[in-house]
Amino acid sequence: MRALAEAPQLLLHYTGIDYNFIMSWDYYGKEWSEIKSQVPFKQLPMIVVDDKYEICQSIAILNFIENVAGLKLKNPIEEAKASSILQSAQELFLPLNPTVNFAVGNDFKKRRDDMIPFLISRFEDLEKILKSSEMKFFIDDTPRACDFAAFHHLDLSKKLDDSLIKKFPRLEEFLKDINSIDTVKNYLSQRPELIDVSIEPKLVIDGKAHSTGTTKT
């Protein structure tokens, strides 16, 4: 699925840290259902550092990458603000990401219609912060974990309903600014495309369409 591994990958590309993206079934050589119980907190994404340290929870992964890259804010107030934006952006994960990646037909429509008031409310909050910061990104002119997390969910919302983001010109400008970072643009142009949303969602990997889900295809 296109979900919580996106912001860490955007941040890794932005900071120029090398990594390999590996599907769980290729890493473990077993279906996800068979190895899920061995994974700390039984969910993905997980980053494996030095072939040894397994770090789960997307916010912890993002914090780790920021620390390694020297992107952490020194000012505790600014750091708390960035953390609150990151958490608020990540709260968009549910119900947005599973709906876009998996739901079809009337189920998709019902889920979409039910979540729109929440999305609008959270988009309003995010737009207000950006407008008040008078900076390019949420904290300053450097994109950080909170920016890439917000980017992922705002960008994914276009696949739910592409008219939503158009109500928020400052958020659209923010998406454009993130998109115009060369390393990020390069990653975005090469990542698997998510197609047939609401019909039969698939990710196109190396030219082949794979059904979204937790089984190897």
Enumerate binding residues for ligand GSH (CB under 6 A): 3-4, 36, 43-45, 57-59, 214
> Containing H/E element for 77?
helix 76-90
Least distance CB 4 / ligand GSH (angstroms): 4
Closer of 92 and 127 to ligand GSH (Cβ): 92
SS3 annotation, 17-60? CCCCCCCHHHHHCCCHHHHHHHCHHHCCCEEEECCCEEEECHHH
Cα 110 to its chain centre, rounded Å, is: 23
Which CB contacts under 8 angstroms, 24+ apart, belong to 43-50?
A: 44/4, 44/5, 45/4, 45/5, 45/8, 47/8, 47/19
Residue 35 in contact with residue 28, Cβ under 8 Å?
Answer: yes
Closer of 59 and 150 to ligand GSH (Cβ): 59
* The two three-digit tokens of residue 49, written as one number: 């550092």
Least distance CB 214 / ligand GSH (angstroms): 5
Residue 180 identity:
S
Cα 12 to its chain centre, rounded Å, is: 12
Closer of 39 and 175 to ligand GSH (Cβ): 39
Cα 77 to its chain centre, rounded Å, is: 24
Least distance CB 209 / ligand GSH (angstroms): 20
* The two three-digit tokens of residue 10, written as one number: 């955007």
Least distance CB 37 / ligand GSH (angstroms): 10
Least distance CB 38 / ligand GSH (angstroms): 12
> Containing H/E element for 204?
strand 202-205
Closer of 45 and 143 to ligand GSH (Cβ): 45
Closer of 43 and 183 to ligand GSH (Cβ): 43
Least distance CB 217 / ligand GSH (angstroms): 15
Closer of 96 and 168 to ligand GSH (Cβ): 96
Q: Exposed, middle or buried by CB within 10 Å (0-12, 13-18, 19+), for 195?
A: middle
